[in-house]
Amino acid sequence: MGSDEAYNFVFKVVLIGESGVGKSNLLSRFTKNEFNHDSRTTIGVEFSTRTVQLRGFTIKAQIWDTAGLERYRAITSAYYRGAVGALMVYDITKHLTYESVERWLKELYDHADPHIVVMLVGNKTDLASERAVPTEEAKDFAARRGLLYVETSALESTNVEVAFNDVLAEIHKKVSSKEVIRGSINAVSLSPTPRADNTEEGKPCCRNI
C-alpha cells in the first residue's frame, strides 16, 4: 500500500481502554493481519494506517493506540485531537476493565470532538468460557449511551474488520449527511480541479467538513 495512494477521506480513530484488554492486537490485526502473543506493554503512542473501500469511497484510517499510557494516566488532549472515531475496548473476562468504561467515556467526551463516533468493544471472545461480562449487559449500556457495540477476538480475527469498518462507515455517514458541520470532522478529499492555492489536480487536499 503505497504512501501516494489516492484517498477521498482520512479519519483518525483512537483506541482507549485499560491496559491488557487487547487494543494493540486489535490494531495489528486490522492493519497488518498480525497477532502478537507477547503481552509486554510498550510505552508511548503508536499508530498505523489502513486504506479501505467503503460505499464507493476510498477511506484512509489513521488508528492511534495508547500503547500503555493508560496505566500511567498520561493520555493528553493531543492524543484525542482530531479524532472522529473511537473504539473503547474492555476484556470480556475481566469485569474491572468493563467497569472502567464509564470513566474512559467521560475522558473521551472531555477531550474529543463532540460528534465523535464511539464503539464499545468487548474483546477476547476466544476466552468465552471465562466470560465475566454478560453480552446483554454491555449491549444495554451501549444502547443507553448511544454507542455502537460489538464483541471481538483479535486472536481469532473475529469481528475485527466489522468493528473498524462499522466505525468508519458511521463517520462517513455523518459527513455525507452533513450532520457534522464546520470543522467538526477533519477529512481529506480529492480535489477534482486545480485550486487557487496551487494544490495539484488529483492530489488530496484538506477539507473541513
Instruction: Convert the pLDDT of each residue in 105-142 to its tens digit.
Output: 999 999 998 899 999 999 999 999 999 999 999 999 99
**What would the pLDDT profile of 94-115 be if each residue is shown by its tens digit?**
999 999 999 999 999 999 988 9
Exposure string (b/e) for 115-135, b if CB count within 10 Å is 16 or more? ebbbbbbbbbbbeeeebebee
> What's the pLDDT score for residue 7?
87
Q: Which of 19-23, 85-89, 124-128, 145-149 has the lowest mean pLDDT?
A: 19-23
| Calpha distance 84→10 (Å, rounded) | 10
User: Is 197 a residue whose pLDDT tops 60?
Assistant: no
CATH class name, domain 9-179: alpha beta
Place of cell 454507542: 147
> What's the pLDDT score for residue 71?
67
Helix (H) or strand (E) holding 101: helix 101-111
| Calpha distance 118→149 (Å, rounded) | 9
Reduce the secondary structure of 6-38 to three states and give it as a string. CCCEEEEEEEECCCCCCHHHHHHHHHHCCCCCC
Q: How high does pLDDT run on average in the chain?
A: 82
Percentage, residues of the chain above pLDDT 90:
61
